[in-house]
């Protein structure tokens, strides 16, 4: 891929040497973790292709869009409504933050005890290795946890196109009003960026596009309820990760194609693992590309992952936006209601998430829950304790894992996970 796209990367301002070393690590990780899996659905070939061209073809498409005057908006959180970007003829891409980069440089801006996700966002900027970030005309940060909130103050000194969205922390009427007013403010900012006024029709159409891609993932999730399960957790996670930066219509079509294939597999009782393999629900912090460490350990230790209670998973995609509104006000209200239901651990109290994890564990026939918390992530690590208690009261075993993007704890994690899976058997 390197030679074909070098001039494009240079024009975007990437550091070619640093970028090549990132691509090397990414390529090797993908080969070792993804391509070594057995009995994958043929439809995953599309996602293998997307990953092989993740900094190539997709970036070329975005650069072409920019040449035609379309704006690119980068986002770090599932609270940034893609519907509003699309309605103003802009493209929204998720900025992944799933790998360590330029750590020494990063620690000149952030204390060492900052979560890996935030450090990664800085590392990709300081190392000049993310073409999505460099292609973005606007980057949206949000006031979620304290780490992110304060980090954006420094990140804003490294880029001149950072827009910060204020988010509520409680599920009250006043908080919902805040979210609505922030979405109104975001709508104005996007209209200013693109020079395009959002209309009822364009917003309604955008709601339809985003609902369609979420619905495709709902269909995929339903199929994972079968035993034997027809697709690995790693592959399903990949579809959830690609959701954030692929072309929406092409993504939707590709997921449906896989689902058609999985339905045939289910009819033929063909699983990716044998029937009665221990089934795990993952819950916790989001896993952005190329953060595949924990699922890889779980699925090479005799279990299969059947669901992700995560923003890169069901927490991020389970709700659709009402599309029945006929006025701008009704449509903006529908968008607000849809996102206000996301039960991120930054909310207090957050009983909805407790209930949802239990509901998912039952619906997917999970034998146990692995709670994944990033080191130094207070919201998820703190919430993990009452969550574990609540699950155990319902006889759902739970293992709390705290880790980061490094590989130093691989052996220790594997030992703990193998013991947990043994206990489930
Ligand atoms: S976990 Fe919270 S802060 Fe992180 S992406 Fe999800 S909603 Fe946003
Ligand atoms: S993982 Fe936790 S600490 Fe890190 S950005 Fe997300 S909510 Fe904040």
Q: What Rg, from alpha-carbon coordinates, does the chain have?
A: 21
φ/ψ bin of 39: left (φ > 0), alpha (ψ from -120 to 50), beta (otherwise): left
Q: Which atom of ligand 1 is nearest to the CA of 117?
A: 4
CATH classification number, 2-25+63-200, choose in 3.40.50.11890, 3.60.10.10, 3.40.50.1580, 3.60.15.10: 3.40.50.11890
Cα separation, 48 vs 356, in Å, equals 31
Comparing CA positions, the residue from 200, 258, 197, 198 lying closest to residue 231 is 258
Three-class DSSP labels, the chain: CHHHHHHHHHHHCCCHHHHHHHHHHHHHHHHHHHHCCCCCCCCHHHHHHHHHCCCCHHHHHHHHHHHCCCCEEEECCCCCCHHHHHHCCCEEEECCCCCCCCHHHHCCCCCCCCCHHHHHHHHHHHCCCCHHHHHCCEEEEEECCHHHHHHHHHHCCCCCCEEEEECCCCCCHHHHHHHHHHHHHHHHHHHHHHCCCCCHHHHHHHHHHHHHHHHHHHHHHHHCCCCCCCCCHHHHHHHHHHCCCCCHHHHHHHHHHHHHHHHHHHHCCCCCCCCCCCEEEEEECCCCCCCCHHHHHHHCCCCEEEEEECCCCHHHHCCCCCCCCCCHHHHHHHHHHHHHCCCCCCCCCCHHHHHHHHHHHHHCCCCEEEEEEECCCHHHHHHHHHHHHHHHHCCCCEEEEEECCCCCCHHHHHHHHHHHHHHHC
CA 376 – ligand 2 centroid, Å = 8
Site to substitute for ligand 1 among 96, 116, 144, most atoms within 8 A of C-beta: 144
Question: pLDDT in tens for each of the 425 residues of the chain?
Answer: 556 899 999 999 999 999 999 999 999 999 999 999 999 999 999 999 999 999 999 999 999 999 999 999 999 999 999 999 999 999 999 998 999 999 999 999 999 999 999 999 999 999 999 999 999 999 999 999 999 999 999 999 999 999 999 999 999 999 999 999 999 999 999 999 999 999 999 999 999 999 999 999 999 999 999 999 999 999 999 999 999 999 999 999 999 999 999 999 999 999 999 999 999 999 999 999 999 999 999 999 999 999 999 999 999 999 999 999 999 999 999 999 999 999 999 999 999 999 999 999 999 999 999 999 999 999 999 999 999 999 999 999 999 999 999 999 999 999 999 999 999 99
Whole-number pLDDT of residue 1: 56
CA 158 – ligand 1 centroid, Å = 22
Dihedral sign, CA of 15, 21, 25, 31?
positive
Cα separation, 124 vs 99, in Å, equals 9
Site to substitute for ligand 1 among 92, 148, 282, 311, most atoms within 8 A of C-beta: 311
Whole-number pLDDT of residue 96: 82
CA 316 – ligand 1 centroid, Å = 8
φ/ψ bin of 84: left (φ > 0), alpha (ψ from -120 to 50), beta (otherwise): alpha
Residues 6+ apart with CB under 8 A from 373: 284, 285, 380, 381, 384, 400, 401, 402, 403
Whole-number pLDDT of residue 312: 98
Strands 162-166 vs 138-143: parallel, antiparallel or unpaired = parallel
Strand-pair partners of 94: 75
Domain residue extents for the chain: 2-25+63-200
Does residue 271's CB lie within 6 angstroms of at least one atom of ligand 1?
no
Closest-lying ligand to the alpha carbon of 95?
1
Closest-lying ligand to the alpha carbon of 314?
1
Cα separation, 51 vs 48, in Å, equals 5
Vertex 168: Cα angle to 363 and 369 (nearest 5) = 25
> pTM score, two decimals?
0.97
């Amino acid at each position: 891929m390197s030679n074909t796209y070098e001039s494009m990367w240079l024009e975007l301002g990437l550091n070619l040497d640093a970028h090549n070393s990132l691509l090397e690590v990414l390529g090797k990780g993908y080969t070792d973790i993804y391509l070594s899996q057995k009995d994958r659905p043929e439809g995953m070939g599309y996602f293998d292709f997307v990953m092989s061209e993740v900094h190539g073809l997709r970036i070329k498409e975005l650069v072409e869009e920019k040449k035609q005057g379309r704006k690119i908006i980068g986002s770090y959180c599932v609270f940034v409504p893609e519907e509003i970007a699309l309605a103003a003829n802009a493209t929204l891409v998720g900025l992944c933050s799933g790998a360590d980069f330029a750590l020494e440089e990063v620690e000149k801006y952030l204390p060492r005890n900052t979560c890996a996700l935030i450090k990664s966002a800085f590392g990709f900027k300081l190392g000049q290795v993310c073409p999505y970030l460099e292609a973005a005309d606007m980057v949206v940060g949000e006031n979620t946890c304290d780490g992110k909130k304060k980090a954006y103050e420094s990140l804003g000194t490294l880029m001149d196109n950072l827009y910060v969205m204020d988010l509520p922390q409680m599920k009250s009427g006043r908080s919902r009003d805040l979210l609505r007013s922030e979405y109104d403010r975001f709508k104005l900012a996007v209209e200013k960026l693109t020079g395009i006024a959002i209309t009822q029709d364009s917003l309604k159409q955008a709601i339809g596009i985003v609902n369609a891609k979420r619905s495709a993932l709902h269909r995929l999730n339903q199929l994972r309820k079968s035993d034997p399960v027809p697709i690995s957790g790693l592959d399903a996670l990949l579809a959830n990760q690609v959701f954030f930066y692929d072309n929406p219509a092409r993504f939707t079509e590709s997921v449906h194609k896989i689902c058609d294939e999985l339905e045939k597999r289910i009819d033929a009782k063909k699983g990716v693992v044998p029937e009665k393999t221990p089934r795990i629900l993952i819950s916790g912090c989001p896993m952005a590309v190329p953060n595949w460490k924990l699922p890889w350990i779980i699925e090479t230790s005799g279990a299969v992952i059947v669901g992700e209670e995560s923003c890169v998973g069901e927490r991020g995609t389970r709700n659709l936006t009402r599309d029945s509104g006929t006025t701008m006000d009704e449509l903006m209200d529908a968008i607000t209601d849809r996102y206000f239901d996301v039960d991120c651990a930054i909310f207090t109290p957050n009983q909805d998430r407790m209930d949802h994890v239990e509901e998912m564990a039952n619906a997917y026939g999970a034998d146990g829950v692995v709670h994944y918390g990033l080191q130094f992530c207070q919201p998820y690590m703190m919430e993990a304790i009452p969550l574990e208690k609540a699950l155990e009261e319902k006889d759902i075993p739970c293992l709390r894992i705290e880790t980061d993007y490094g590989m130093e704890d691989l052996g220790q994690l594997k030992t703990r996970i193998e013991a947990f899976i043994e206990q489930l058997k």
